[in-house]
Amino acid sequence: MYADVVFPLKLPPLTYKVPEDAPHDLKGRIINAPLMGRNHYGLVVSVTNESQLEKKKNIKEIQGIHHVFASESTLSFLRWLSDYYLAPMGIALKSSFFEEAIKSAVSSQQSAVRAKNNEQKIEAENYELSLVYDCIKNKNYKSFLYHAPSISHEYSLLNDVLNKSHSDMHGAIILVPEISQIERLAHMLRNIFGERVCVIHSNLTKKKRIDAIARIIAGQSDVILGTRSAILAPLRDVSLIAVLNEHNPSYKGEEGLRYNARNIAVMRGFMEKSCVLLSSVCPSVESDYNSKIGKYMPIHPSTHLPIYPFADFKRPKIKITDMKKEKAAAISRDILKEARDITSENGRFLFLVNRKGYSLIRCEDCGNTVQCKKCNVPLVFYKGKNTVRCHYCGHEEIVPENCEECKGFNIKPFGAGTERIKEELKEALKTEAIIVENGHGSWSMEQDPDITSFVIGTPYAIKKLKDEKFDAVAIFNIDGLLAQPDFRAYERAFQEVMQISQMVKTEGSLYLQTYAPKNKILRFIKNYDFQGFYDNELSQRKTLDYPPFSRIILFNIFIKRGIEKSLHDIQKIISDTNTNGLEVLGPIEIPSSLKSYKHCIQILIKSKDRKIIHNEARNLLKKLEKLKGIKINVDVDPLKI
């Protein structure tokens, strides 16, 4: 007998001879076998008959055989992961806590916590929820999408589902996008499941992670709460997978196995026959589409659900301020007026900008912005020090006296950073504001009770202060968000504003300061018109053939200095690509994000057919990998382009 073994390395499965006395249920077990001069732990993914491999010589023998790590469905899931994300199976295994499982050194003795079978029928308040309970109880696959009016509604629906079905629950995975959301949920879950709960996220110490995996494998913990990677936890049986804030881009990995935890939650649910519950205050365009075509079942918050009051749910007013009517100031008069009213009532106002420092510097004559020569990004003006600084490489210099392009002297601050907003507020209202931005140390609202009227923050502050409620919030960079060169720019801007609206008191106001007040997306935002927004976005994407109407795979090819000639080889490989049913965009050169590589070539391939795009991507990858001195990153279903 021979076994195909996968190691948690960038390798395909390798074949080994099985010892005579091996147990017959070898598939899915952890084994120890020689590889590159020493023994490594690996996973047996299949066992083959001797006759097929008789001629193979020098085949090495498996040394040690340990407990079962993967069931048949886990193996299919790993195979699918590797196939779909175009990564060797070893990388999929590595991402699935294989090393932690080995280190946890648990015996194959299972002491599973099993729920008592509860025959009591659950009274569901509405039809869709009754289907959720049915799926959990009978272990059927179905994906549900709950478009929640607020984050608290998301939590209370989950709480309710868990409370009502916990005795039928054979394992659950609950995902949140940010580590900061774990604490509140952990408390809620421990109230229901006690010791069955375990937490997995990237900030755990190595020891804690190994402990968590050991508890899961031993069956002591079967309710897993965590960020993205928790979706790959080695749980044997899963009745429910819940993905909170399902639209959040943090679910997509930017390195290693670049999977989207939301998407693989749906796939894992399908393969392991579990209920998948997606929820968000602003579901992604793709999920909305999936619920329109019947792939996900929408859960409607209705008046039949007294615990999720929706009908009387109020949202803050969204106000658009037209900057074309303003003079040179960074803050519009409307916002200043509201700020004055708010201080007189001891309220709190949050000002959101997208950069630190004072502003950028621009030439009024030719429009040229002062940029970092190395990084090609605008330099940020620090007024106090009279310098400009690059936020990428840290380069800092004295503000130039004249424009590099036209040599004119008409150079002025342009746009607003945190310092400039602070200065204008001080001038207009004689009030000191505090700045919450990356690198300013940790800060909490309670620490500064006297000066919390005005808070100025960068996107970092949105994460830090997301549980706070303000009387008003002003967003200064909406034009920048809408102008991103990415087909998901509008979606991201819409989601961002909806997310921020959760930080405004219901009777409060949310200001959007813009030079393009007629933008259609702003109208959808102002009216909280989700359906209008989704319909508009879907028709745009249909016209341009973008997801969900096509599949896309992004290749970033990094090239070392001195081998520029391989540019030509890459060009040739791309032009030889079979374009039947496939669209190839690029190659284009983009700034290299890796220090040791001088160039980066980007190609985007697009197709309506999943098989075609995966086959062609695999072929392309095979050809590119033969070139020397280059590094290739493949991103299937990229979120950022």
- Tell me how far, at minimum, the Cβ of 441 lies from Zn ion, in Å: 25
DSSP labels, 217-253:
HTTS--EEEESGGGGG---S--SEEEETTTT-GGGB-
- Tell me how far, at minimum, the Cβ of 372 lies from Zn ion, in Å: 3
Which tokens go with 46? 């299949």
- Tell me how far, at minimum, the Cβ of 369 lies from Zn ion, in Å: 10
- Tell me how far, at minimum, the Cβ of 438 lies from Zn ion, in Å: 17
Helix axes 151-165, 127-138, angle to 10 degrees: 50
Tell me how far the alpha carbon of residue 282 is from its chain's centroid. 14
Which tokens go with 77? 């899931």
**Maximum distance among all alpha carbons in the chain?**
88
Give the nearer residue to Zn ion in terms of CB position, either 408 or 629: 408
Contact 567, 559 (CB under 8 A): yes
- Tell me how far, at minimum, the Cβ of 459 lies from Zn ion, in Å: 20
3-class DSSP assignment, residue 498: helix
Give the nearer residue to Zn ion in terms of CB position, either 309 or 591: 591
Burial grade of 487 (CB within 10 A; 0-12, 13-18, 19 or more): middle
Give the nearer residue to Zn ion in terms of CB position, either 34 or 408: 408
Site for Zn ion in 320-349 (CB under 5 A): none
Give the nearer residue to Zn ion in terms of CB position, either 211 or 365: 365
- The conformation of residue 146, written as its DSSP 8-state character, comes to E
- Tell me how far, at minimum, the Cβ of 405 lies from Zn ion, in Å: 5
Count of residues touching Zn ion (by CB under 5 A) = 15
Q: How would you classify the pairing of strands 29-35 and 64-68?
A: antiparallel
- Tell me how far, at minimum, the Cβ of 382 lies from Zn ion, in Å: 15
Site for Zn ion in 557-596 (CB under 5 A): none
Q: How would you classify the pairing of strands 2-6 and 14-17?
A: antiparallel
Give the nearer residue to Zn ion in terms of CB position, either 304 or 373: 373
Give the nearer residue to Zn ion in terms of CB position, either 180 or 410: 410
Give the nearer residue to Zn ion in terms of CB position, either 15 or 368: 368
- Tell me how far, at minimum, the Cβ of 406 lies from Zn ion, in Å: 3
Site for Zn ion in 352-411 (CB under 5 A): 363, 365-366, 368, 372, 374-375, 390, 392-393, 395, 403, 405-406, 408
Amino acid at position 596, single letter: S
Neighbouring C-beta atoms of residue 547, cutoff 10 Å: 17
Give the nearer residue to Zn ion in terms of CB position, either 395 or 618: 395
Give the nearer residue to Zn ion in terms of CB position, either 395 or 505: 395
Q: How would you classify the pairing of strands 387-389 and 380-382?
A: antiparallel
Read off φ and ψ for residue 413, nearest 5 degrees.
Answer: -60, 145
The C-alpha angle 163, 71, 167, rounded to 5 degrees, equals: 15
DSSP labels, 432-481:
--EEE-TTS----GGG-GGG-SEEEE-HHHHHHTTT--EEEEEES-HHHH
Q: How would you classify the pairing of strands 504-514 and 317-322?
A: parallel
Give the nearer residue to Zn ion in terms of CB position, either 215 or 362: 362
Per-residue CA distances from 417 to 116, 389, 422, 443 (Å): 58, 13, 9, 19
- Tell me how far, at minimum, the Cβ of 495 lies from Zn ion, in Å: 30
Query: Would you count residue 605 as binding Zn ion (CB under 5 A)?
Result: no
- Tell me how far, at minimum, the Cβ of 390 lies from Zn ion, in Å: 3
x/- track of binding to Zn ion for residues 14-33 (CB under 5 A): --------------------
Give the nearer residue to Zn ion in terms of CB position, either 256 or 400: 400
- β-bridge partners, 47: 3
Burial grade of 326 (CB within 10 A; 0-12, 13-18, 19 or more): middle
Give the nearer residue to Zn ion in terms of CB position, either 166 or 355: 355
Read off φ and ψ for residue 311, nearest 5 degrees.
Answer: -55, -40
Give the nearer residue to Zn ion in terms of CB position, either 320 or 390: 390
Give the nearer residue to Zn ion in terms of CB position, either 8 or 378: 378
Question: Is the dihedral angle over the CA atoms 491, 322, 352, 154 positive or is it negative?
Answer: negative
- Tell me how far, at minimum, the Cβ of 410 lies from Zn ion, in Å: 7
In 445-598, beta strands by DSSP E? 454-457, 470-475, 504-514, 551-559, 583-591
Given the structure tokens 């079979």, which residue do they identify?
A: 578
- β-bridge partners, 437: none
Give the nearer residue to Zn ion in terms of CB position, either 235 or 380: 380
Give the nearer residue to Zn ion in terms of CB position, either 265 or 403: 403
Contact 335, 321 (CB under 8 A): yes
- Tell me how far, at minimum, the Cβ of 555 lies from Zn ion, in Å: 26
Amino acid at position 563, single letter: I
**Nearest partner of 259 among 621, 609, 639, 641, judged by Cα:** 639
- Tell me how far, at minimum, the Cβ of 476 lies from Zn ion, in Å: 24
Residues 6+ apart with CB under 8 A from 295: 143
Tell me how far the alpha carbon of residue 93 is from its chain's centroid. 20
- Tell me how far, at minimum, the Cβ of 556 lies from Zn ion, in Å: 20
- Tell me how far, at minimum, the Cβ of 354 lies from Zn ion, in Å: 18
Neighbouring C-beta atoms of residue 51, cutoff 10 Å: 6
- Tell me how far, at minimum, the Cβ of 375 lies from Zn ion, in Å: 3
Which residues make up the interface to Zn ion (CB under 5 A)?
363, 365-366, 368, 372, 374-375, 390, 392-393, 395, 403, 405-406, 408
